[in-house]
Structures are given as structure tokens and as C-alpha cells.
Amino acid sequence: MDTLRKLSDFKALRRVSSVAALMILDSAALVVGLVAAAYLSGADPAAVTMLSPVLLAAWVVLFAAFDLYNRAGVRRSPGSLVLAVLCWTGLVFAGSLVYPEIGLVPAEVLLAGALAMPAVGVLRLLYERGIERIYRRGFGRIPAVVVGNAIERERVRRTMESTPGAYFFLGEVDLGETGGVLPELRRALNETGARVVILAGAERLADDETLDLLRSAWLRGVRMRVVPGALSLMSSRPVLSRSMGLPLLKVSYPRLDSSQRVLKRALDVSVSLIGLVALSPVLLAVAVAIRLDSSGPIFFRQKRAGADERVFLCYKFRSMREDAELRQAEVEALNEADGPVFKMQVDPRVTRVGKFLRRWSVDEVPQLWNVLRGEMSLVGPRPLPVRDFERMGEEHKKRLAAVPGMTGYWQISGRSSLSFEEMVRLDLYYIDNWSLSFDLKIILRTLGAVLRHEGAY
């Protein structure tokens, strides 16, 4: 049961499954209409059988053109359904008159359209009723956090509970938080794991606050929906959620480079997957060396601050002794870096194998798993341990406005020899000037820096 719920949470899987199911039902309705029309008219079914792939393709294409495979609020339009069937009937009817040699009888085409229309209507009605029953049982519904004042949150919550739809209530944030809405929203998303934010009363937020919320949701892969009031500054496409009983506007953080972002993620997935498979013999050899060199686990897992201050477990090969974190207080006074970060060129906690791994940056390779999971990217600001993050000022935290990377701009510009302020400055420069070509340039220069052991210790 839980496995089914988890699978239904995947947005892409839900969408593809819905479209595929509707296409199958629509095709079945047309087949019923064609077969029944051939039987009633006494026509030769051979012509229909030969042309069925073309007829089905035209049927599905027209349904798509009339948005009948769109989201529920759009596709549940009887008028669009009738128009799509009429257009198909008209086109095929005209084809049977112009090309009588194909074997279709005009009267048979009209009868097929007339029979297919109620068939497709009934099948789609049963499908939508089935989806509603699935939602009522808790399957496929998306966990949501509601942001607004007490009255607005209660209204949205009552509506969601009385009219089960695509979303279910999981948490709430007060729009009038004294410390600001953004920190509370981050906390709520971290605690609940919600995948949608429903914002009520957005017109009372300043433009900068609204953009901060949108950027936070975008960095986390969380969708934002707005209950419209006097919201006129947003030019996003409105999406009416009839199943929930409230009109919701679909809004997103402005991205002028969305196609490059998709390519960046595709590069991350392909390189990390190929790298993990191709380097598996090396990874196995390193694992054996670590185990033989010192006691303790092979991998070192550490909580680090990622995009939008979201904490995740970062994986590395263990290069220090097992009690390294427990001995952190002993070496704090020996810190050679300025600012909140900790760096030591000769750290007594590093093992013999660890020195080799660090020199060649092999200890970072397991982070390909973080890249594959989407917690990191190949290129981006380096994720800092929670210890360092908690000591950073708000201005420094702006470097978290991007997905962290295995390598970054500051790593090819001096690496460990840079001051903390210089590191932040280079990270912010990367965020403001990001492009796919910039990433490729950093990757190539990183390979050179690794081979020359620049700043590695």
C-alpha cells in the first residue's frame, strides 16, 4: 500500500499514466463505434480494419488539439469533447467523399461518429469517477503546505478536506510571521516533505518576498499554487482546480534559461550514472584500501547545507580516522582558514590512505550518487558542512541560491588558498553568470587542477 502511494507521488509517472489511460479509453470508444457502425450498416469491415491505425491516430491527435489530455480542470469539458468528435467525423466524412476508393461509406462514417460520441463520454466519465475515488482513498494525492493568515488557511483547509482532489493538507505557515515567511516555509517543507505550496493572500506580500518564496520553491523542486485575490502582477497561466473547489494560479520562478537547465540536469544524470558504473572497479579497490588501512566505515556521511538551505547527507570516501568529528573541538584552534569554514593543511586526523585520496580528489567521487539523486550537480557552489553554514552571515548564504556542485568556480580559481570572502564572491559570480558552456569550462579546468594537485590537502 505504501509503495503504491510513493509511486503515485512521482509527477511525471502520474501524468504519463493519466494520458496513456485516456488514450486507451478514447481508442476503445472509437473501435466500438466503428465496429458497431460496420455491423449495423452491413458494410465490409475489411476497409475499416485496414484504415483503423490512421483513423485512431487522427482521433487521438484531434483530442490532443482540443486539450482533452490536459489536466483535469481543462480536459473535463463536454464542449471540447463534442467538438473533437465532430471534427473527426467531418474530416473522415470528407475523405470518404473525395476518395471513395478507400472503401469507407459516408453513412458508415456518420454512424460511427454518432456511436463513438456517447461511448467516449461514458468511458471518460467512469475514468474521472475512478480518479476521484482513488483520491478519496489517499492515492496519488500530493502533500501540500498552506501559507496565509488564520482565516485563509482555515478556508483552504476546509475546502481540501471537504472536496478531496489532487492535494491534501500536511502543514501550514502563518503569513504574518515576525521572523519572515521564508524561514518558516523552509522549516515546514523540511519537516513535512510537502511537494506543493498553496499561497493565500499573496497580494499582501512585497514583490521581493514573493520572488524569494518562488525561488525557494524552485530550488527545492516544489510547485507553487496561489489562491488568487487581487493578484494582478503575476502573468502566469491560471489553472482552475475544480476537484479542489478553489481556483488556483500556477506560478513559478522566472527562468529565461529553462532549456539549458534541463540540459544541465540531463548532463548530471548521464555523467553520474556512467561514472558510477565505469569507475566501479576503482571504487571497489579504494573501499578495500580504506578498510585495510584503518577501522571504521568505508564511506563518510556528513550533513551539509544545499540549495535553499536544505540539509542533505553528502557522501565521501572516509579519509580521516573514525573519531574525527568527535575530535573536532581539539583542532579548532589550529584552523588555517578565515571565516566560518575549517581548513588544515596538515590535519592529524587524516589517515595514510586518506592523504592519497585527498591529493587526487578521489574521496569526492561518491558524491556522484548525490548528483544522481538531484541533491548536487556536477558544477555549483560547494556544499559546506552544517557547522560552517550555521556560522555564516545572511549575505554569505546567498551562495545557496543554486544547487551545490562537486566542483565550482572557486575550485579552479585557487581552491583552498582562497579566503572565505573570495570563495563567496566567486560563487555569487557563478550564480549570476551561469550557463551550460560555463559549466563545461569549469569541468575541463577542474580535471587539470586535479592532475596538478592544486589546493588539494
- Sheet containing strand 246-251, strands side by side: 167-174, 142-148, 196-200, 223-227, 246-251, 238-241
Whole-model pTM? 0.64
Same domain, 297 and 442: yes
pLDDT, mean of residues 341-354? 89
- C-alpha span between 396 and 428 (Å, rounded): 9
Q: Helix, strand or coil for residue 169?
A: strand
Confidence of residue 78 (pLDDT cuts 50, 70, 90): confident
What is the model's pLDDT at position 255?
54
Same domain, 327 and 354: yes
Same domain, 386 and 400: yes
Question: Which amino acid is present at 4?
Answer: L
Same domain, 300 and 443: yes
Closest CA relative to residue 111, chosen from 85, 136, 131? 85
pLDDT tens for each residue of 175-200: 876 667 899 999 999 998 888 999 98
The answer to whether 286 and 317 have CB atoms below 8 angstroms apart is yes
Q: State how far Cα 141 lies from the chain centre.
A: 16
Tell me how far CA of residue 281 lies from CA of 271, 286, 289, 309, 457, in angstroms: 17, 9, 13, 35, 24
Residue 88: is it exposed, middle or buried by C-beta count within 10 angstroms (0-12/13-18/19+)?
buried
Q: Helix, strand or coil for residue 240?
A: strand
What is the model's pLDDT at position 231?
40
Q: What is the mean pLDDT of the chain?
A: 84
Same domain, 319 and 362: yes
Domain end, chosen from 225, 251, 277, is at 251
pLDDT at residue 213 tops 80: yes
- Range of the structural domain that residue 173 is part of: 142-251
Q: How many domains does the chain have?
A: 3
Same domain, 214 and 72: no
pLDDT, mean of residues 94-112? 85
Residue 226: inside a domain, yes or no?
A: yes
Tell me how far CA of residue 97 lies from CA of 90, 107, 156, in angstroms: 11, 10, 55
Confidence of residue 11 (pLDDT cuts 50, 70, 90): low
Same domain, 192 and 300: no
pLDDT at residue 2 tops 60: no
Residue 197: inside a domain, yes or no?
A: yes
Q: 84 phi and psi, to 5 degrees?
A: -65, -45
Same domain, 170 and 288: no
Q: 420 phi and psi, to 5 degrees?
A: -65, -40
Same domain, 289 and 385: yes
Same domain, 323 and 398: yes
Domain end, chosen from 101, 136, 171, is at 136
CATH number, position 152: 3.40.50.720
Annotate 10-79 with DSSP letters as a single string.
-HHHHHHHHHHHHHHHHHHHHHHHHHHHHHHHT--HHHHHHHHHHHHHHHHHHHHHTTTTS-HHHH--HH
Domain end, chosen from 68, 102, 136, is at 136
Confidence of residue 28 (pLDDT cuts 50, 70, 90): very high
Same domain, 340 and 392: yes
pLDDT tens for each residue of 120-174: 999 999 998 888 777 766 666 788 999 988 888 888 888 777 766 678 888 899 9
Q: Helix, strand or coil for residue 246?
A: strand
Same domain, 121 and 163: no
Quickly list H helices, 175-299. Answer: 181-192, 207-220, 258-278, 280-293
Residue 456: inside a domain, yes or no?
A: no
